[in-house]
Structure 1
Amino acid sequence: MSPRRRAQRRIRRMRLLRRIAWSSAAVLAVALAAVLIPLGLAHEKPTAICVDDPRTFPASGIEGWQGEQLENAATIMQTATALGFGRDGQILGVMTAMGESSLHNIDYGDWETRGFTNPDGSRTTSIGLFQQQEWWGPPEARMDPATAATLFYERLARVADWPSMPRSHAIHRVQINTDRDYYSRYESDAVSVVDALSGHC
């Protein structure tokens, strides 16, 4: 074999070896990334949830409650704290709004949706997060989440033994609804939402 052919063969062999080396390096890099990136994410510090900053609320929600609903829950919690109520009071307020309006600040109530009337036959006038009727206050008060929550807690404070009562029964004493166990179905979700929004910022 001529020297020229031997040189060409040597060059081709070197190119082949370089391709193999590059391919092996690429495979190794992908494998390392597949292992190291998840490890890094696993050790990444989760974003803190601040009750007074809706931007920190999880986009995926909490137990199915999200967006405006969590913002309204946070307002209820902050109002409870300002009025001297602790975690149990916060849970009662959030439970109530879950059961009354699904934590939406709606400007209509049972009369519009189901034709419900009061015991005297008059149409109900419920609006807002807590579905409060006109004897609770003017429409603008009942439609303001913080004010509506304040009205709720002012009446809860008059129920002297509320901390020792089943939560739904305590709410019933304030809301005067027909079924005192109605709100029980929202207790677990309310606890989850309150505890999640109570984390340290």
Structure 2
Amino acid sequence: MRRRRAGAITAISAFPVLVIALIVASALGAFSGAHSLSPLSSPPAVADYDQEQLENAASIMRAGHDLGLSARDQAIGVMTALGESSLRNIDYGDWETSGVTNPDGSRTTSIGLFQQQDAWGPRDARLDPYTAATLFYRAMIDRVPDRDALEPTIVAHRTQINQDPDHYARYWPRAVALIEALSGAESGLGS
């Protein structure tokens, strides 16, 4: 029987954090002068999430950055995905889980990080984290031109057109902490 050295075990356990750090580093020129995460440490805000969730948050941030959006807008994107799917790219929605229908009585067709229905775009686009985030941000830009003057939950509500305008408010502090942890930079957004 071969014994593993302690260093090998440490390297194996640090591997997921390293992968996440590399994904985030490539995703995030999101803030000017952003620092990358140390591959051997995991900030507390990041420790609460698994690799899939962190990669999805990084994709949301990268899409916002690529569109020239602010850290606040990126945090609104992450907040919205937290409120819709817990940053999980799920291929089913409210109809399948609880029989929820649209106001006109038709079945909902929500999928992906943002639980976007058919009108948002093709299924493959809604299930691709970067593309789904881009769809969300473009809708946000079109539907909420005064977003900087509004509470983040209202911006998300007007973009998603959901029933409860305050639904996303509880996710704001987590979204801010998450984007700051992933970028390694203070956003100035508070929480």
Q: Structure 1-normalised TM-score?
A: 0.71
Aligned-residue sequence identity (percent) comes to: 54
- Residue among 163, 182, 188 paired with 1:197: 182
Following superposition of structure 1 onto structure 2, how do residues 6-155 of structure 1 map, counting pairs within 5 Å? Answer: 49=21, 51-52=24-25, 56=39, 58=42, 62=46, 64-155=48-139
Residue 113 of structure 1, CA deviation: 1.0
CA 1:129–1:166 in structure 2 vs 1: closer, same or farther (change >3 Å)?
A: same
CA 1:63–1:171 in structure 2 vs 1: closer, same or farther (change >3 Å)?
A: farther
RMSD: 2.3
Supply the distance in 1 between the matched residues of 2:150 and 2:47 (Cα, whole angstroms).
25
* Deviations, residues 154-175 of structure 1 (Å, cap 9, x unaligned): 0111111011100000000100
Runs of 4+ in 1 over 3 A off after TM superposition: 52-57
Supply the distance in 1 between the matched residues of 2:71 and 2:176 (Cα, whole angstroms).
9
Asked if 2 retains the 8 angstrom alpha-carbon contact of 1:52 and 1:74, the reply is no
Q: Which amino acid aligns with 1:81?
A: H
| Aligned length in residues | 154
Q: Structure 2-normalised TM-score?
A: 0.75
Matched, 1:188 2:173: yes
Asked if 1 retains the 8 angstrom alpha-carbon contact of 2:45 and 2:178, the reply is no
* Deviations, residues 88-138 of structure 1 (Å, cap 9, x unaligned): 011000000001011000000011111100000000000000000000001
Which residue in the other structure is 2:157 paired with? 172
Asked if 1 retains the 8 angstrom alpha-carbon contact of 2:60 and 2:77, the reply is yes
Residue 52 of structure 1, CA deviation: 3.3
* Deviations, residues 59-101 of structure 1 (Å, cap 9, x unaligned): 9762622211011000000110000101101100000000101
Structure 2: tracts of 5 or more residues without a match:
1-17, 28-36, 186-191
Q: Which amino acid aligns with 2:159?
A: V
Which residue in the other structure is 2:148 paired with? 163
Larger Rg: 1
Supply the distance in 2 between the matched residues of 1:199 and 1:59 (Cα, whole angstroms).
9
Asked if 1 retains the 8 angstrom alpha-carbon contact of 2:46 and 2:182, the reply is no
